[in-house]
Amino acid sequence: MDTVEFSPRPDQYAFTFGGVEPVLRIDPGTALKLWCQDAYCGRITSTDDHASSSLVATELNPQTGPFHVNGAEPGDTLAIHIVDLTPARTWGASAVIPYFGGLTSTPQAPTLQAALEERTWVYEYDPLAKTVRYAARGSDFHLDLPANPMLGTVGVAPAQREVRTSLVPEMFGGNMDTPEMRAGTTCFLRVNVEGALFSLGDGHYRQGEGESCGTAVEGAMNVTVIVDLIKDDGPAWPRLESDEALCVVGSGRPLEDAWRASQVDMVGWLQELYGLDALDAYQLLSQIGQVPIANVVDTNFSAVTKVDKALLPPAAAYEGMHRRLRDAAGSLGSINY
């Protein structure tokens, strides 16, 4: 398997999906070993760094990419298998940012209330124990939490000639912020433009569902993925497959509409996999679906509809692509950064 390494210089960060020239052209079946800057663009490094003074509004959530996948055409399915996510620093940071997050008014849903106080937390990451340390700022309370490295953002160039900031989750993927986007997961995205032009970033060393305050334990990440292509059959919304589960991520507002998008697409997926009619698939989903909310803080909210594979007969989604990439990942040997 071809393996390509790429670590962007700061002037190569992509801040949009679409509208950016590819940094590399790769063939389907290529493994990529990448480094991703954190969502703050590296501008928050201590508890004294606050969002309003340290961040630059036009330089948030830098992506590594985009990558042009040779042969990818609109309507195709891009498969991105996440082989490994390893924190690239020994610390990550989370921040309460004025008028951003789930438990505050925002520019999209403003009120006349004052903003919450700004505050930054730095989490030490212990690479041996694989934990991050929460330290309260207003009292003496510490907690070691298991790291669950994930990517907040994976996406392709949008349809309809659009260019969207990397802060947005949508049909093209983007800033979905779901903990399901972890090592061992294959992400299927519909290709909208020639070459797909996918990029990824927004490493989280740990995140809760909903990403309540708007930021996870954000940190630079070493990322290994294998990229492949299926001609046609691009799904309407991002689909994820792991050894354990099938997921669809819907994004929009209000949250029930994000949920509906993920549910209707999962009804369709269950129909495809098991030959059910729409009502039978709807019924089955009603009794087996899980709904671990992804984010309620971004420009669009993201809801995940998840199905436990253990409850279902075996089925080879996308002609067994997940299994094939997972096996190929094994052949990559140990990941060294």
Residues 111-140 that bind a second copy (CB under 8 A): 111-117, 119, 121, 132, 134, 136-139
What H or E segment, with its residue span, contains residue 280?
Answer: helix 278-288
Segment 251-290, which members bind a second copy (CB under 8 A)? 252-257, 259-261, 263-264, 267, 274-280, 282-290
Which amino acid belongs to residue 265? D
Shortest Cβ 109–a second copy spacing (Å): 4
For position 161 contacting a second copy by CB under 8 A, the verdict is: yes
Residue 95, Cβ density class (10 Å: 0-12 exposed, 13-18 middle, ≥19 buried): buried
Altogether, the residues listed in the chain come to a count of 337
For position 56 contacting a second copy by CB under 8 A, the verdict is: no
Shortest Cβ 218–a second copy spacing (Å): 11
126 DSSP β-pair partners: 131
Q: Under a CB-based contact definition with an 8 Å cutoff, are residues 271 and 281 in contact?
A: yes
Q: Which is nearer to a second copy, 121 or 318 (CB)?
A: 121
Shortest Cβ 280–a second copy spacing (Å): 4
Which of residues 73, 162, 194, 272 is near a second copy by CB under 8 A? 162
Shortest Cβ 164–a second copy spacing (Å): 6
Which of residues 41, 72, 85, 96 is near a second copy by CB under 8 A? 96
Q: Which is nearer to a second copy, 216 or 220 (CB)?
A: 216
Distance CA 186, CA 204 (A): 18
Shortest Cβ 259–a second copy spacing (Å): 6
Segment 191-210, which members bind a second copy (CB under 8 A)? 206-210
Which of residues 19, 71, 184, 235 is near a second copy by CB under 8 A? 19
Segment 288-307, which members bind a second copy (CB under 8 A)? 288-293, 296, 301, 303, 305
Distance CA 245, CA 14 (A): 31
Indicate the SS3 state at residue 260.
helix
Measured torsion, CA atoms of residues 51, 59, 101, 188, in degrees rounded to the nearest 10: -150
Determine how many CB atoms are found less than 10 A away from the CB of residue 112. Answer: 5
Shortest Cβ 158–a second copy spacing (Å): 9
Q: Which is nearer to a second copy, 90 or 286 (CB)?
A: 286
Residue 146, Cβ density class (10 Å: 0-12 exposed, 13-18 middle, ≥19 buried): exposed
Shortest Cβ 211–a second copy spacing (Å): 6
Does the N-terminal peptide bond of residue 158 adopt cis geometry, omega within 30 degrees of 0? no
Segment 211-250, which members bind a second copy (CB under 8 A)? 211-217, 236
Distance CA 257, CA 48 (A): 38
Kindly provide the b/e burial profile for residues 321-333, where b requires at least 16 CB atoms within 10 angstroms of the residue's own CB: bbbbbbebbeeee
How many residues line the site for a second copy (CB under 8 A)? 92
